[in-house]
Amino acid sequence: MPITVRDLRRFKAEGRRFAMLTSYDVLLARAFEAAGIPVILVGDTLGVFVLGEQTTLAVTMDDVIHHCRAVRAGIVDALLVADLPFGAYQASVEQGVRNGIRLLKEGGAAVVKLEGPEFALVDTLTAKGVPVMAHLGLTPQSFHQLGGNRVQARTGDEVIRLVANARRLEEAGACALVLEGVPNEAARQVTDALGIPTIGIGAGPHCDGQVLVGPEMLGMGDGTSPRFAKRYAELFGAMVAAARTFAAEVEQARYPDKEHSYDWPIR
């Protein structure tokens, strides 16, 4: 059965924890769908994990739509969420509404995700029929404003503000809240304060759901990962080994062999 935004609230009400993974292409989308992952995010981390940028800031609406269509093609039941990238909603509510609608119409997303306490935009989008997943704590689109990717909400006052902003986003209509890069206790207080689920990344064990970057979780990268980013496979090493073996077999004329060629008599 296809997962909808109503299921997210139900998961929380039933105390059912759930996973979300990012994907940027049809292959990972199919694998995650086959694994029964209920929520798949086309995150603006595609700038880092697909385009090789240092931050998410350069990602455009066209980039997200392009990758969202590919992921859509691999999904049957999972709820497809797509990020509004930096510059796609900061100018005005009207700009955010236009771009949110594009993600549904052109990308095939069911939910849009956006960063920060954008109460008016969340309110307007949801009123216009565009479900919104909010995102607080470490918001990577504010990389320069935050002075880097730093853990947020470390003081009592900051936690009070975080909880207040989360409540207002829920009131504005957000269907879920990503909490990134906050201490465990801050995430616990936010999670306890909301009727919608929190989905943590680097936010400890108290969130209702957890999200990881798909290629990072699979160990597809050769770089270093933040401490929370557990690697459940080591695909980079496997990919390097496979490519080396292929090259060696070509050089030694062992590939293609009889099994991998059309060794038929010519009539």
**Residues written for the chain:** 267
Contact region with ligand KIV (CB under 6 A), list: 37-45, 154-162, 238-246, 255-263: 37-45
Q: Using alpha carbons only, what angle is made at residue 113 by residues 108 and 117, rounded to the nearest 5 degrees?
A: 155
Closest CA relative to residue 185, chosen from 157, 208, 204? 204
194 binds ligand KIV (CB under 6 A): no
* 124 phi/psi in degrees, rounded to 5: -70, -45
CA distance 257 to 253: 8
Contact region with ligand KIV (CB under 6 A), list: 6-14, 36-44, 184-192, 241-249: 36-44
For ligand KIV, which residue of 7, 12, 21, 22 counts as binding (CB under 6 A)?
A: 22
For ligand KIV, which residue of 23, 24, 28, 45 counts as binding (CB under 6 A)?
A: 45
215 binds ligand KIV (CB under 6 A): no
- Contact pattern from residue 131 through residue 170 relative to ligand KIV, giving x for each residue in contact according to CB under 6 A and a dash for the rest: ----------------------------------------
Beta strands per DSSP E along 187-238: 198-201, 209-212
Which among 171, 180, 216, 249 is annotated as catalytic? 180
217 binds ligand KIV (CB under 6 A): no
Q: How far is CA 246 from CA 70, 158, 199, 237, 238, in A?
A: 28, 54, 41, 14, 12
44 binds ligand KIV (CB under 6 A): yes
- DSSP H/E element including 178: strand 176-180
Catalytic residue flag (residue 180) = yes
43 binds ligand KIV (CB under 6 A): yes
- Contact pattern from residue 54 through residue 93 relative to ligand KIV, giving x for each residue in contact according to CB under 6 A and a dash for the rest: -----------------------------x----------
- DSSP H/E element including 241: helix 235-251
Task: Work out the burial of residue 191: count CB atoms within 10 Å of its CB; fewer than 13 is exposed, 13-18 middle, 19 or more buried.
Answer: buried
178 binds ligand KIV (CB under 6 A): yes
Give the binding site for ligand KIV (CB under 6 A).
Answer: 22, 41, 43-45, 83, 178, 180, 201, 211, 213
Catalytic residues: 180
